[in-house]
Structure 1
Amino acid sequence: MIALTVNGTRHQVDVPPDTPLLWVIREVIGLTGTKFGCGMSLCGACTVHVEGRAIRSCVTPVSAVAGKEVTTIEGIPESHPVKQAWIADDVPQCGWCQPGQIMAATALLATNPKPDDAAIDEAMEGILCRCGTYQRIRRAIHRAAGTPAKGGAS
């Protein structure tokens, strides 16, 4: 049994220790907002927070987060400035990457509340958007941070 806390709820999961955290979140705990994209930590659709840090859950064994606090997209309140900015800037199209994008953006703003474009680009690097909404993503992060967007793609 492996103990972990997800979105404030403690769970005991009976899975092999090398089971990817993504599958524990989705299949064992039943939170399906975190998406499977590539399974190789290349696309970022599976991004969650562990102790406030954005990580790729598809390559993180559940044993690595034993006893730690995990936050998924379901654990980010609808009233969070990032989620509100996503709506205001009409960011999602297909929506597949959005949980990972939002999780990376909230982790960025938690450590850097007024990021410039370079900081945004660095934090969002590797979170792929098949629809190409990178300009809207950057604009939404600026909106959530209360800083002016300078334009351009991220």
Structure 2
Amino acid sequence: MEIKLWINNKLFQDNVEADMLLIDYVRSKGFLSVKRGCETANCGLCTVHLDGKPVLSCSTLVIKANGKRVTTLEGLKEEAEEFGAFMADQGAEQCGFCSPGFVMNVLAMKKELENPTEDEIKHYLAGNLCRCTGYMSQLRAIKNFLEAKKED
């Protein structure tokens, strides 16, 4: 199947198998921030933005991205580093397993929700698995980040 899509604003056109997953395609193009964690769509590690909305690339066929824009962590470098600093300040990055998914989802949430409540934040991040913490440090980092962004 012929596809045409943009990854981090760079155009890609290819012939792909109908059952190829978005994670495999993106990684084959060198965007290695997108990682396999569980392969069951339960951990959030493979999160990318598809036309600005977070999706799990391990359970999304690449054909669904045809004609669309895919954004990976590499495409959000400055924003990701900024939020990463908030995570580090709260001790929320311990092993780093969950960080890519958290970052991708928080940056999407920031654009989608204005002044989210704690329950809205938790709901938005429900698909992110953290193996180290009780999520409290991530929640503090997210709240601090969103508060700081309001002041910008």
Do these two structures clear the TM 0.5 threshold for a shared fold by scoring above it?
yes
Paired position in structure 2 for 1:89: 90
Checking the alignment, whether the CA contact within 8 Å between 1:45 and 1:99 is kept in structure 2 is yes
Alignment coverage as a number of residue pairs:
146
Identity percentage of aligned residues: 34
Checking the alignment, whether the CA contact within 8 Å between 2:6 and 2:12 is kept in structure 1 is yes
Checking the alignment, whether the CA contact within 8 Å between 2:3 and 2:15 is kept in structure 1 is yes
Checking the alignment, whether the CA contact within 8 Å between 1:92 and 1:133 is kept in structure 2 is no
Higher alpha-carbon deviation: 56-65 or 17-26: 17-26
User: SS at the partner of 1:41?
Assistant: coil
Q: 1: CA distance between counterparts of 2:89 and 2:11? A: 34
Q: 2: CA distance between counterparts of 1:133 and 1:84? A: 19
Q: 2: CA distance between counterparts of 1:117 and 1:79? A: 21
Paired position in structure 2 for 1:7: 8
1:49 shift after superposition: 0.6
1:20 shift after superposition: 0.7
Consecutive unaligned residues of structure 1, counting only runs of 5 or more, are: 148-154
Paired position in structure 1 for 2:57: 57
Paired position in structure 2 for 1:150: none
Matches within 5 A, 1:30-41: 30-41=30-41
1:79 shift after superposition: 4.4
Checking the alignment, whether the CA contact within 8 Å between 1:35 and 1:97 is kept in structure 2 is no
1:125 shift after superposition: 0.2
Paired position in structure 2 for 1:100: 101
Higher alpha-carbon deviation: 17-26 or 59-68: 17-26
1:111 shift after superposition: 0.8
Higher alpha-carbon deviation: 87-96 or 37-46: 87-96
- Across the aligned residues of Structure 1 and Structure 2, the Cα RMSD in angstroms comes to 1.6
Question: TM-score scaled to structure 1, two decimals?
Answer: 0.87
Paired position in structure 2 for 1:68: 68
Consecutive unaligned residues of structure 2, counting only runs of 5 or more, are: none
Normalized per residue, the structure richer in helix is 2
Question: TM-score scaled to structure 2, two decimals?
Answer: 0.88
Q: 1: CA distance between counterparts of 2:114 and 2:24? A: 31
